Amino acid sequence: MPTVVLMDVSLSMTRPVSLEGNEDFQRKNLAVHGLNMLFEHMASNYRLEFTALMAFSSLWELLVPFTRDYNALQEALSNLDDYDKTCVESALQGVNSVVQQEWGNACPCQVVLVTDGSLGIGKGSLRHSLQTLNHRGDAKKFPLPFPFPTKLYIMCVANAEELQMSDTMNNLEELLRLSGGDGQIFTVDGALCMKSVQAMFGRLIDHAYSPFHAVLHCGNLSSDVQVFPRPEPVIIDEEVEPIPQSVNADLKIVGFIEITDICSPPVISRHLVLPIAVNKEMDDVGAGTTEELEEEPSASQMAGKSPNFCVLLHGSLKVEGMVALVQLGAEWYGMLYSQADSKKKSNLMMSIFEPGSEPLPWLGKISHLGPISEATENPYGEDDNKSPFPLQPQVKRSYAQTVTVWIKASGLQELNRLRKAALAFGFWELLKGVADLLERECTLLPDSAHPDAAFQLSHAAQQLKLASTGDSQYAAFDHNIVPMHTDFSS
């Protein structure tokens, strides 16, 4: 998911910090050092991530729009100017504007707010913004929560003791709560220095920017892969308490199926699946310093010269027009497939289904699927002219009738059944909606339709509208709508 880095450049960030060697640094210098560490990590492990850099004091400025060029981000950090007081509310309004303009409201976004914990002074300060939160009109509404899914990470270039001496920590926690609570506040452990700030940003990297490495298995074949972006844990709603469920590091392919059978299923998220090279002599994937990479061939160069199951799978799925069903955990599945960005470029993608044994009803239970060779006859036919899907439900649904009959000798049975159900649940809007549909059908009747059809449709619509008003005369539960008496015999 894209990231917005929000850098505080107010005067409080210029406060000096005494380091060893009698060399004075500003808090801003420590923050820049930590962000450079973050950008270097993302350039190596999260190079597909889009990142934007913004600076703020009483106003905000977009220094670098969303980009994958981390050199440009680091260069902008080295040219930061100092401005006036802190105004977090203005900065958050800027984040809202920048993200919605680039990604809209549906794309999740991570916001990294880097500050020294200073709340600002007077009107426009975070303290003032939170105190006036419930006394605002819609025109001056506080920007949190954002209209798009957000994770807010607050990086304080200050230790917890310093923040707790005032109400700073309480205000930052309230800010985090307003954002949705899906984030964290990071503070410096111990004295302010390069190492302590570096350790703080290291905790952020471990929490939010650690790459997801997995092993993709298919029978006796396997491949080390990176799944990007990192799959988020899914909360399973249970009666007792919510249970978070995470994707396993072992991804097991359980079978293959035609694209036409799986169609376009509902999914939680979509991810790139990238092959990675593992250095057998080291524990870390892709580990090594810049000097070592200059002396030896890079991991990507070595990977390009060796066979890889992930590449074989991608090519096979693309040519055969199939998808691979992959098990992500206990009764949790997804699918691997080839998706083309252009005529010449395609990627291996993984879509994650909702947890459960039957995420796609038309396929039935995934565990009940088996190879064609075990079937008594080919379910696709000898000439591939049929499909066993969708599976027919064992129980015939009440709404799955081949013919709907509105008028019978005893009256408008189905219409009265619908009316009573809506009244029982207090769903009066349903009655109004069905009445609108009947009126529309009345206007679409062909010239060859019997004249009685228009009268009966209009009559039924009128009766439903009267019932939707809640009037005791027409909304009585035992009342039945009877057909309009007409006579076209003469």
Span 359-375, pLDDT tens digits: 998 898 999 898 888 88
Q: What is the CATH number of domain 3-209?
A: 3.40.50.410
More confident residue, 397 or 195: 195
- From CA 364, how far away is CA 393, in angstroms rounded? 9
> What pLDDT band is residue 20 in, cutting at 50, 70 and 90?
low
CATH class (in words) of the domain with range 212-279+306-374: mainly beta
The proportion of the chain whose per-residue pLDDT surpasses 90, expressed as a percent, equals 38
Q: Which long-range contacts (CB under 8 A, 24 or more apart) does 205-211 make?
A: 205/37, 205/38, 205/41, 207/153, 208/110, 208/151, 208/153, 209/38, 209/41, 209/42, 209/45, 209/46, 210/45, 211/45, 211/46, 211/285
> What pLDDT band is residue 280 in, cutting at 50, 70 and 90?
very low
Average pLDDT over residues 57-85: 92
Q: How many angstroms separate the first and last alpha carbons of the chain?
A: 72
* Upstream peptide bond of 390 is cis (omega within 30 degrees of 0): yes
pLDDT the model gives residue 395:
67
pLDDT the model gives residue 476:
82
- Distance of alpha carbon 102 from its chain centroid, rounded? 16
Span 423-446, pLDDT tens digits: 888 888 898 899 989 888 888 888
Q: What is the pTM of this model?
A: 0.70
> What pLDDT band is residue 401 in, cutting at 50, 70 and 90?
low
- From CA 147, how far away is CA 145, in angstroms rounded? 6
How high is the mean pLDDT of the chain?
84
Span 201-254, pLDDT tens digits: 999 999 999 889 999 999 999 999 999 888 988 887 665 677 788 999 999 999
Tokens matching residue 309: 């199951």
Q: What share of the chain is helix, strand, coil (3-state, %, to 5)?
A: 35, 25, 40
For residue 448, give the amino acid letter: S
Average pLDDT over residues 178-196: 89
